[in-house]
């Protein structure tokens, strides 16, 4: 029997009980045979066909509802979908918050929707953290509520409950990611670049090898040692073992049927006490023997990143658990990497920045007049609803008919303006001792997902304003743009 200690590369600590392994193989590989289904090319003889013996188990029950947020009726916006998972604990929610912040910092105009699979405790923790909840809404997230997990196996299986989400078939591409991940580059590019084939194919990051074995947990990339016939077929098809933390697929009906069968397969094996390493053992075995695995994502993902490395070419950095790593060690590494390398995007000049996020149909309000001619840049973009609020009469006559001038004090105007009424608010004047009040009032007038553009005179208030927002830009012309994610509140 070939086996390996993954920690030190030796064979000294392997389990050598051949009789036990033969029993496990019998459970895993000889439950029955089936004719390959649509999208399957693998040898039928080694494909387990499992009927669950626990029909009333909580893991087999369909979820009761897609969201507990009954005030929101979810309508898909895009054809790409990011799926992630947060369950039960403060630790999981902290990972999620870092992941979401990295997405918002690197992806300004997402071409994807987000599905968050969570239980009630995690959902309540997210809503308590107002900024995280607002950020998820900005990413057009739906919350798919599942029963609270009872144990580790429950948690590992929970991420595959997206099959019950009512909108899943709308999407052309789906990316599942664990939350111990940071976005290094805009995810739009990953969705655009990865060509996915449907009919049950699963795309992943290659890791390990077919007979990799953990002395305590058993096979890491299968539920038993693969047969020689399996390995020959998998090698011929280019199938490799893979890390299960980040996956891509086309959520067509063939793939969703596979996931439903896979869940039954995993649950049945757990009930039979088959040794395994998280869900990774099960999902590898199920898709590998069917020759459905496509291990092509190494170009896009770095697993176990080092804090002092930049990884400019990667889209996702996966801080996967290894060795004796604790959740706290993982969070520290993620925070350190975020602070050093995932920084606000910087532009060559102000006009390049404006081209990135200002749209002609936006409602734009400017408080005070500029000294650098930003008005000319905004008018040149053919903005249809641009107003300047000033008491000074400082708007040049060349803007007659192009900019509406409102003669009022900043505080008077902002008090009268409804909350979340404009897409972009440009803050020009410092207002001396009233600057903090004006800045906070202004942030509340911007729509969720809109932009607060601060001139250098407001630099002192930048940090305070980002309490409920994500700063996304630092600009060569000394402007800072902040994306508004919710209302500012007094502490």
Q: What is the DSSP letter of 170?
A: G
Residue 270 lies in a domain: yes
101 and 179, same domain (yes or no): yes
Distance, in Å, from the CA atom of 155 to the CA atom of 179, rounded to the nearest integer, reads: 13
User: pLDDT tens across 450-479, in order?
Assistant: 888 888 777 666 655 554 444 444 444 567
Distance, in Å, from the CA atom of 342 to the CA atom of 334, rounded to the nearest integer, reads: 10
Distance, in Å, from the CA atom of 399 to the CA atom of 375, rounded to the nearest integer, reads: 9
3-state SS class at 450: strand
Percent of the chain with pLDDT over 70: 74
In this prediction, residue 213 has a pLDDT band, given cuts at 50, 70 and 90, of: low
User: pLDDT tens across 358-389, in order?
Assistant: 888 999 999 888 877 888 888 888 888 999 98
344 and 288, same domain (yes or no): no
203 and 140, same domain (yes or no): no
138 and 287, same domain (yes or no): no
What's the token pair of residue 70? 């009954």
Q: Which residues pair with 143 in a beta bridge?
A: 116
- Are the C-beta atoms of residues 47 and 298 closer than 8 Å to each other? no
Residue 389 lies in a domain: no
313 and 178, same domain (yes or no): yes
Mean pLDDT value across residues 134-163? 86
Give the Å distances, CA to CA, from 161 to 71, 164, 189, 287. Answer: 23, 6, 26, 17
Q: How large is the greatest C-alpha to C-alpha distance in the chain, in angstroms?
A: 91
Q: Which residues pair with 427 in a beta bridge?
A: 367, 454
| Residue 119 CB-density burial (10 A; 0-12 exposed, 13-18 middle, 19+ buried) | buried
222 and 272, same domain (yes or no): yes
pLDDT greater than 60 at residue 115: yes
148 and 184, same domain (yes or no): yes
Handedness of CA 304, 307, 308, 312 (dihedral sign): positive
Percent of the chain with pLDDT over 90: 32
Residue 200 lies in a domain: yes
266 and 305, same domain (yes or no): no
| Residue 76 CB-density burial (10 A; 0-12 exposed, 13-18 middle, 19+ buried) | middle
User: pLDDT tens across 266-277, in order?
Assistant: 888 877 777 777
How many residues appear in the chain? 491
Q: What is the CATH number of the domain that holds 311?
A: 3.90.550
Distance, in Å, from the CA atom of 284 to the CA atom of 210, rounded to the nearest integer, reads: 9
In this prediction, residue 343 has a pLDDT band, given cuts at 50, 70 and 90, of: confident
Task: For residue 459, count other CB atoms closer than 10 A to its CB.
Answer: 13
Between these two residues, 132 and 249, which has the higher pLDDT value? Answer: 249
Distance, in Å, from the CA atom of 253 to the CA atom of 215, rounded to the nearest integer, reads: 38
Mean pLDDT value across residues 290-294? 93
> How many domains is the chain built from?
2
What's the token pair of residue 204? 């992943």
Mean pLDDT value across residues 47-53? 34
Q: What is the pLDDT of residue 50?
A: 33
Residue 179 lies in a domain: yes
Distance, in Å, from the CA atom of 258 to the CA atom of 288, rounded to the nearest integer, reads: 12
pLDDT greater than 90 at residue 67: no
Q: Which segment, 31-35, 127-131, 215-219, is predicted with the most confidence on average?
A: 127-131
Distance, in Å, from the CA atom of 342 to the CA atom of 347, rounded to the nearest integer, reads: 15
Residue 438 lies in a domain: no
Residue 115 lies in a domain: yes
Residue 397 lies in a domain: no
Domain C-terminal end among 355, 375, 391: 355
Residue 326 lies in a domain: yes
Q: What is the pLDDT of residue 144?
A: 92
In this prediction, residue 68 has a pLDDT band, given cuts at 50, 70 and 90, of: very low
172 and 232, same domain (yes or no): no
- The phi and psi torsions of 28 (rounded to 5 degrees) equal -80, -35
| Chain centroid offset of residue 63 CA | 22
119 and 200, same domain (yes or no): no
205 and 343, same domain (yes or no): no
Domain C-terminal end among 339, 355, 371: 355
Q: What is the pLDDT of residue 257?
A: 94
Between these two residues, 88 and 476, which has the higher pLDDT value? Answer: 88
Indicate the helix (H) or strand (E) that contains 103.
Answer: helix 90-106
In this prediction, residue 53 has a pLDDT band, given cuts at 50, 70 and 90, of: very low
Q: What is the pLDDT of residue 434?
A: 65
Distance, in Å, from the CA atom of 319 to the CA atom of 330, rounded to the nearest integer, reads: 7
- Are the C-beta atoms of residues 36 and 289 closer than 8 Å to each other? no
What's the token pair of residue 294? 């496509």
User: pLDDT tens across 240-264, in order?
Assistant: 889 999 999 999 999 999 999 998 8
Query: By residue range, what is the domain housing residue 127?
Result: 76-194+300-355
133 and 276, same domain (yes or no): no
């Amino acid at each position: 029997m070939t086996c390996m200690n993954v920690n030190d590369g030796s064979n000294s600590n392997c389990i050598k009980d051949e009789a036990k392994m033969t029993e496990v193989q019998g459970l895993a590989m000889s439950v029955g045979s089936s004719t390959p289904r649509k999208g399957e090319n693998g040898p039928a003889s080694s494909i387990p066909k499992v009927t669950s013996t626990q029909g009333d188990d909580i893991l087999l029950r369909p979820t009761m509802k897609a969201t507990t947020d009954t005030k929101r009726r979810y309508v898909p916006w895009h054809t790409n979908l990011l799926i992630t998972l947060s369950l039960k604990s403060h630790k999981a929610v902290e990972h999620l918050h870092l992941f979401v912040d990295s997405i918002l910092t690197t992806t300004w105009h997402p071409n994807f929707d987000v599905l968050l699979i969570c239980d009630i405790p995690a959902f309540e923790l997210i809503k308590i953290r107002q900024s995280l909840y607002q950020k998820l809404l900005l990413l057009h997230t739906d919350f798919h509520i599942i029963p609270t997990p009872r144990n580790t196996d429950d948690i590992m299986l929970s991420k595959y409950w997206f099959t019950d989400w009512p909108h899943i078939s709308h999407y052309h591409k789906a990316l599942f990611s664990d939350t111990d991940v940071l976005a290094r580059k805009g995810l739009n590019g990953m969705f655009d670049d990865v060509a996915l084939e449907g009919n049950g194919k699963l795309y992943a990051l290659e890791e390990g090898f077919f007979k990799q074995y953990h002395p305590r947990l058993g096979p890491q990339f299968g539920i038993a040692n693969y047969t020689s016939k399996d390995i020959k077929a998998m090698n011929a098809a280019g199938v490799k073992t893979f890390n299960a933390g980040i996956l891509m697929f086309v959520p067509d009906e063939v793939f969703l049927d596979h996931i439903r069968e896979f869940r039954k397969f995993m649950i049945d094996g757990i009930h039979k006490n088959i040794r395994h390493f998280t869900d990774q053992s099960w999902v590898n075995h199920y898709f590998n023997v069917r020759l459905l695995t496509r291990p092509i994502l190494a170009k896009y993902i770095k697993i176990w990143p080092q804090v002092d490395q930049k990884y400019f070419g990667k889209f996702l950095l996966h801080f996967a658990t290894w060795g004796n790593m604790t959740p706290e060690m993982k969070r520290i590494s993620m925070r350190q990497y975020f602070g050093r390398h995932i920084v606000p995007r910087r532009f060559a000049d102000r006009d390049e920045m404006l081209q990135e996020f200002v749209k002609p149909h936006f409602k734009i309000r400017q408080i005070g007049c500029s000294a650098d001619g930003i008005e000319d840049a905004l008018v040149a973009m053919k903005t249809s609803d641009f107003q300047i609020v000033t008491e000074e009469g400082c708007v040049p006559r060349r803007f007659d008919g192009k900019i509406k001038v409102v003669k009022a004090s900043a505080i008077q105007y902002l008090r009268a303006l409804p909350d979340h009424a404009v897409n972009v608010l440009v803050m020009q004047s410092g207002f001396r001792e009233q600057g903090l009040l004006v800045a906070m009032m202004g942030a509340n007038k911007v729509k969720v997902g809109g932009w607060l553009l601060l001139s250098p005179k407001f630099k002192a208030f930048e940090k305070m304003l980002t309490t409920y927002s994500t700063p996304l830009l630092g600009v060569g012309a000394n402007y800072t743009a902040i994306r508004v994610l919710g209302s500012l509140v007094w502490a």
